Amino acid sequence: MATAKKKVYKVGIIGAGAIAQECHFPGYKKDRRSKVVAFAEPTAERHDEIKERFGKVEGYTDYKEMLKNEDLDIVSICTPNAFHAENAIAALKAGCHVLCEKPIATNLKDADKMIAAAKKARKKLMVGFTHRLFRGPQKCRQLVKDKKIGKPFMIRVRFAHGGPYPSWAKNAWFYNPKLAAGGALLDMGIHAIDLALWMMGPIVAVNGMSRTLVKKIPVDDNALLQVEFKNGSLGYIEVGWTSQPGFSGVEVYGTEGSLICDYIKGLQLCEGDASAGGDGSAKWKTLDKTPLKGGWDVEIKHWLDIVEGKEKLEMNGKAGRDALEVALAAYKSSDTGKKVILGK
């Protein structure tokens, strides 16, 4: 008896810059369930780069033409932030499942429209919150959920690097307020905020300070957020485009232990009393020496599992919107010098 041929999802990618080339193109290519058949990219030199790196694939300069001409099942959106909503809504209307890069959009109205478009089209909309797919944060969340550290009362998230230029982004948009809608806070902070929400639950109040401290750019290059969670616990988020990673990662403190997930040094669990002059009962256990395993390497597999209904869609439109709401509240707080209460 002949076995039924497995469906291969036809994929289109909108925006063929750095994240498309480092995560999306290779991820779809290595998974037999998918094939990138087309991409849309206005910059001509990128077309040659893509064909050289990823082989035969139809290139368009206008994403609308791509959606019209190709019978796609899935679209990845890898354009500058300001285009995410327009691209995603068009792809959903064309009947595609959509994996949209973070931040979901640049304002909450657009995020709401994207969520409504996915619902109307009965298609899946996932946001690329890559940090949730690193092994370290995943283990931390599981241990928090399993009450391994008792009641968590504080989270700290810090991410820093030298910024998107000169080594990362292919086009000059990250420092353009119209296209990016924010700087380090919206770019890296959105990952940190998402991790905090994912581990601790909803945020009800935000104090933010976003500043341009070092680079001569019209968006923020450093930001600090103090957040209060609905469950009463507190959070501290620090992101920057102008310093070394240093401590990069997540720490969660609970009534019965602490989780220190240093992205470079490893994930440690401390149980017992670690305070100076304490009872000396602290026990440190290394749970994972390579907490950065996963991420982009597994993102597309995870996404295809979701499209196939094998895994639950958690990095959904609502998660994207929730993180964006906190980031925008932090900018507002920074501008006004006042704490912003969410949901008002």
Ligand X SMILES: NC(=O)c1ccc[n+]([C@@H]2O[C@H](COP(=O)([O-])OP(=O)(O)OC[C@H]3O[C@@H](n4cnc5c(N)ncnc54)[C@H](O)[C@@H]3O)[C@@H](O)[C@H]2O)c1
- The CB-of-253 to ligand X minimum distance in angstroms stands at 26
Q: Is 130 in the site for ligand X (CB under 6 A)?
A: yes
- Our CB check for ligand X shows the closer of 103 and 235 to be 103
- Chain positions 158 to 177 lying near ligand X, rule: CB under 6 A, are 168-171, 173
Q: Is 319 in the site for ligand X (CB under 6 A)?
A: no
- Our CB check for ligand X shows the closer of 187 and 262 to be 187
CA atoms in the 13 A half-sphere facing the CB of 201: 14
- Chain positions 178 to 207 lying near ligand X, rule: CB under 6 A, are 187
- Chain positions 22 to 41 lying near ligand X, rule: CB under 6 A, are 40-41
When CB distances to ligand X are compared, the closest residue is 17
Is there a contact between 92 and 123 (Cβ–Cβ < 8 Å)?
A: yes
Q: How far apart are CA 143 and CA 138, in angstroms?
A: 9
Q: Is 327 in the site for ligand X (CB under 6 A)?
A: no
Q: Is 46 in the site for ligand X (CB under 6 A)?
A: yes
Phi/psi at 51 (nearest 5 deg)? -65, -35
Q: Is 15 in the site for ligand X (CB under 6 A)?
A: yes
Give the DSSP letter string of 249-297: EEEEEETTEEEEEETTTEEEEEES--STTS-S--EEEEEES-TT-BTHH
CA atoms in the 13 A half-sphere facing the CB of 55: 7
- The CB-of-295 to ligand X minimum distance in angstroms stands at 8
SS3 for 172-188 is CCCCCHHHHCCCHHHHC
H helix count then E strand count, the chain: 12, 15
- Our CB check for ligand X shows the closer of 205 and 304 to be 304
- The CB-of-215 to ligand X minimum distance in angstroms stands at 17
Q: Is 80 in the site for ligand X (CB under 6 A)?
A: yes
Q: For residue 64, how far is the Cα from the chain centroid?
A: 25
Q: Which of 28, 54, 83, 134 binds ligand X (CB under 6 A)?
A: 83
Q: How many CB atoms lie within 10 A of CB 92?
A: 26
| The 222-229 sheet, strands edge to edge | 283-288, 266-271, 257-262, 249-254, 152-160, 234-240, 222-229, 203-211, 340-341
Q: Is 19 in the site for ligand X (CB under 6 A)?
A: yes
Q: Is 88 in the site for ligand X (CB under 6 A)?
A: no
Q: Which of 9, 12, 17, 321 binds ligand X (CB under 6 A)?
A: 17
- Residue given tokens 């429209």 in the structure block: 113
Q: Is 102 in the site for ligand X (CB under 6 A)?
A: yes
Binding site for ligand X (CB under 6 A): 14-20, 40-43, 46, 63, 78-81, 83, 101-102, 128, 130, 168-171, 173, 187
